[in-house]
Structure 1
Amino acid sequence: MKILSKLMLLALPVLAACGGGSSDQVCTGGANLEKNCVPKTSHALPEGIWNGATTSGLAAQTLVLENGEYFSVYTSSGNFVWMTQGIVTAADGSFTDPATVALASSGALIAATVTGSFTAKTSLAATTNVNLLPAVPPLVFNGTYNTVYDTPLAVSDVLGTWTNPATVTTATTVTFAADGSLTGSQGACTFTGSVKPRSTGKHVLDGSLLFTSAACSAGNGVAMPIEATVINGQLTFAGVTPQRSSAFVLSATR
């Protein structure tokens, strides 16, 4: 029994050496039973609503969903300039999307790329390079996290008719009913659709549009999924067809 007790005492330090570490580390054992730990790679996404401006003076709003899909809308004096859409991947606070699509104010869809970095629920910096010839300056965006993203958005929050300010070139009107259905127009383009709260409980409405006029860039009878949000009294919704052949942005106030 004395020999067994000594063996158990000798074993205790070895067992203790195998403990410790945390769930955010990856640990391996060395030849001498020492433990080597390194931080796990974080693939957390820059989820949220980010408001700010580009270095060229454009106002910018970016929505990043929990699945990595994002929409960034850039405006000047309320007038639409660019919208970008895609899906980001992230590692340790940096993110990228090599297959962005950019919608220009002319209605053209252009390939682009996005890279950037973020601090969760604090700040985000992104650079978008649009593949145009002759080259255009990159969109360099710096934004801060908008905590309204963490509050639900309901259909009741958007009921009624929204229009764009008189300073915006293209006339826009959209009307929401209590059941989430909507009708609207942007210039000569008319559409119907519906929205509902996003299941994550964030400040986002999921929806779809059906374009009902040949004046719409997507074409008459084309359907498009959209995401909508309301920030500081401004409704913005944006969408891209599944084929990424057409995109749509609308901003309005009530």
Structure 2
Amino acid sequence: MKSCIAGIATTVLASALLAGCGAGIEELWKPDTVVKTSAVQGGYTGKLSDDRDITMLVLEDDQFYSVYGSLTNGSFAPKGFMHASGKASNGSFTASDLKDFATDGIAYLGSLNASYAAGANLNGTVVEGSSTITFTSTVIKSSQYNYGTAASTAGINGNWTLTDLQGVAVNLQIGLDGAITASSAASSGGCAFSGTVTPRASGKNVFDLALTFGAAPCRFANQTLKGIAIDYLAANGKRQLLLAATDSARNNGVAYGGLR
């Protein structure tokens, strides 16, 4: 599968997380120092028009992340994610710099055109080249995820078993200080990496994420990728953790997901 949309041609997406309004790449990587009030900000869950599941997040500065994949027995396995610098205005949410990081982790350029009802739903269309896909979503129930409360590492510290975009198992440990140590399964080469999760300065229920990969066989050997992480209560009563990050040029990305 080449991209979220290109995949429709061969097998006719799942969760979302979100990007920054009018900012350059360097700005997207900086923690927010000013709390903004985007009308569309929040966490959303829904479906793509090819019936894949999505979890989406729009941040206070209109950054857009959308993780897509498969939802099985309440567990969400990411197969790709989208990131963009959006702009919300009078019920319209648009972005011309959308990047879609599919199973291979390589970015595909697209655009986003959506409509929203504040605090209720976000529905729209993603165009990549000659391919188009639509999505519908509603705000995640507050009993599962409260975007308005501050994130805390107390709820996510400890061990997690996650999978990456290729379905490779990753053992990840988060300390109370937000420090991350992780390694992928030995069968895939055993890439070791580290990083941090830091509660977002806006006070919303989102973590700023940084991951630094070790030497080969890591695909992104000796590189640091940055993005976001969230956790929420899955339908089966377990906690779901999702992480998504890109390199500084947004040419490559990684995502991980799992339950405990």
- TM-score bracket for the superposition, by shorter chain length: 0.7 to 0.9
Larger relative contact order (C-alpha < 8 A, sep ≥ 6)? Answer: 2
1:41-190 paired onto structure 2 within 5 Å: 44-77=38-71, 78-131=76-129, 135-136=130-131, 138-146=132-140, 147=142, 148-164=146-162, 169-187=167-185, 188-190=190-192
TM-score, normalised relative to structure 1: 0.75
Give the deviation of 1:213 after TM superposition: 3.5
TM-score, normalised relative to structure 2: 0.73
- Secondary structure of 1:225 counterpart: strand
Q: Return the index of the structure with the highest Cα Rg.
A: 1
Please say if residues 45 and 89 of structure 1, whose CA atoms lie closer than 8 Å, have aligned partners that are also in contact.
no
Q: Aligned AA for 1:123?
A: N
Aligned residues, how many?
205
* 2-structure distance, mates of 1:89, 1:50: 17
- Secondary structure of 1:202 counterpart: coil
* 2-structure distance, mates of 1:162, 1:224: 20
Q: Aligned AA for 2:222?
A: G
Partner of 2:194: 192
Partner of 1:4: none
Please say if residues 44 and 93 of structure 1, whose CA atoms lie closer than 8 Å, have aligned partners that are also in contact.
no
Please say if residues 63 and 86 of structure 2, whose CA atoms lie closer than 8 Å, have aligned partners that are also in contact.
yes
Q: Aligned AA for 2:41?
A: E
* 1-structure distance, mates of 2:223, 2:133: 30
* 2-structure distance, mates of 1:183, 1:75: 25
Partner of 2:257: 251
Give the deviation of 1:97 after TM superposition: 0.6
- Secondary structure of 1:150 counterpart: coil
Distance 1:216 1:71, change over 3 A: farther
Please say if residues 44 and 92 of structure 1, whose CA atoms lie closer than 8 Å, have aligned partners that are also in contact.
no
Give the deviation of 1:194 after TM superposition: 1.0
Give the deviation of 1:53 after TM superposition: 1.2
Unpaired stretches in structure 1, ≥5 consecutive residues: 1-42
* 1-structure distance, mates of 2:85, 2:173: 30
* 1-structure distance, mates of 2:253, 2:259: 21
1:237 to 237, 243, 248: 243
Computed over aligned residues only, the root mean square deviation of the Cα atoms, in angstroms, reads 1.9
- Secondary structure of 1:199 counterpart: coil
Q: Aligned AA for 1:224?
A: L
Please say if residues 173 and 252 of structure 1, whose CA atoms lie closer than 8 Å, have aligned partners that are also in contact.
no
Q: Give % identity.
A: 26
Please say if residues 99 and 108 of structure 2, whose CA atoms lie closer than 8 Å, have aligned partners that are also in contact.
yes
- Secondary structure of 2:147 counterpart: helix
Partner of 1:14: none
Please say if residues 172 and 252 of structure 1, whose CA atoms lie closer than 8 Å, have aligned partners that are also in contact.
no
1:218-237 paired onto structure 2 within 5 Å: 219-232=220-233, 233-237=239-243
Please say if residues 49 and 149 of structure 1, whose CA atoms lie closer than 8 Å, have aligned partners that are also in contact.
yes
Unpaired stretches in structure 2, ≥5 consecutive residues: 1-36, 234-238
Give the deviation of 1:160 after TM superposition: 0.4
Deviations 1:78-108 (A, max 9, x none): 4433311011012211111111111011222
